[in-house]
Structure 1
Amino acid sequence: MISYLQHLSFWDWLAFGTLLLILEVFGAGGYLLWLGIAAAGVGVLSYLFPALPWTWQFLLFGLFSVLSAVLWWRRQRSAAKPSEQPGLNQRGQELLGRQFVLHEAINAGRGKIKAGDSLWLVSGPDLPAGTAVRVVGQDGVLLKVEAL
């Protein structure tokens, strides 16, 4: 085994890097991408410096792996920005503050409004159907309303 390590060529590193990148395609979630790139980098260095000892090759592989992963992580963190649509995928949030007409009367604190093509359960003071209301809050799928 030691004799194999002492005679590592750049082809070994490039093959290892290619194998890691192929495995990444099958859904590793980005983890093997940086290892594959690091292995390819060591392959290029061992091509440029053929007398590079195997211990240095492994140390460079470890260094490149950690360095590339940390740099990518920092880039991802700095590129993250708040959404331009903060209520996206939060049904009902877009209804806050809007006015509707009661579709079904509020009896015992529960009724319904029609918003677009959907009926929403509402809670509030007892009001007859046809009363104008404003949405003032949300509790899960239940909208809280008040009379206008």
Structure 2
Amino acid sequence: MTEMFTTLGTWNWLIFGIILMALELLAPGVFLFWLGLAALLVGLLSFAFHPSWQTQILMFAVFAAAAVPLWRRIARNNAAASANNPFLNKRADALVGRVFTLERPIVDGRGTVRIDDTVWRISGPDAPAGSRIRIVRADGASLTVALV
């Protein structure tokens, strides 16, 4: 067993790091990525100076342990960024309260309205083309409107 550790070299760490990162693709969870990054760092540092196998394992342990707080900090920053945009992935909800002009009339309570580059299905009171409407509710890809 000690013979295996004594033969640890730069290429072993680089290959180990690449294998761990490849395994991350098969079992996503962002856990193996950080271990792979720690192994790659040990491999790259081993190019600069040739530490003993004990030092290499110690460096790997330190880098892997340092990756956890680093990951938590990155995840916290991403959560704060998505909190700044509450309508991310909720495009229809972002339309509630906005006012638009109908290009086509609402007939029998159903119609469509063009908003930016998308045509949305709408339901509401019958109205001729050119009427001003306000989005009052979003339900999936369908919007409920009221006359302004």
Other structure's SS at 1:92 match: helix
Structure 2 Cα separation of the partners of residues 119 and 77 of structure 1? 35
Pair 78,102 (structure 1): closer, same or farther in 2 beyond 3 Å: closer
Which residue in the other structure is 2:29 paired with?
none
Give the secondary-structure state (helix, strand or coil) at the position aligned to 1:79. helix
Greater per-residue strand proportion: 1
Amino acid at match of 2:61: L
Q: CA deviation at 1:142?
A: 0.8
Indicate the RMSD between aligned Cα atoms, in angstroms: 3.7
How many pairs align?
138
The runs of 5 or more residues in structure 1 that have no matched partner are none
**Separation in 1 of the partners of 2:2 and 2:21?**
32
| Comparing 104-113 and 26-35, the one that deviates more | 26-35
Paired residue for 1:37? 41
Q: CA deviation at 1:147?
A: 0.9
Deviations 1:41-83 (A, max 9, x none): 7999972xx5x7x6x875x367336413313222223433233
Unaligned runs of 5+ in 2: 26-32
Cα distance in 2 for residues equivalent to 1:40 and 1:26: 18
* Structure with more helix by fraction: 2
The alpha carbon displacement at 1:26 in A equals: 5.9
Percentage of identical aligned residues: 28
What amino acid maps onto 2:109 in structure 1? G
The structure number with the bigger radius of gyration is 1
> What is the distance in 2 between the residues matched to 1:102 and 1:145?
11
Partner of 1:133: 133
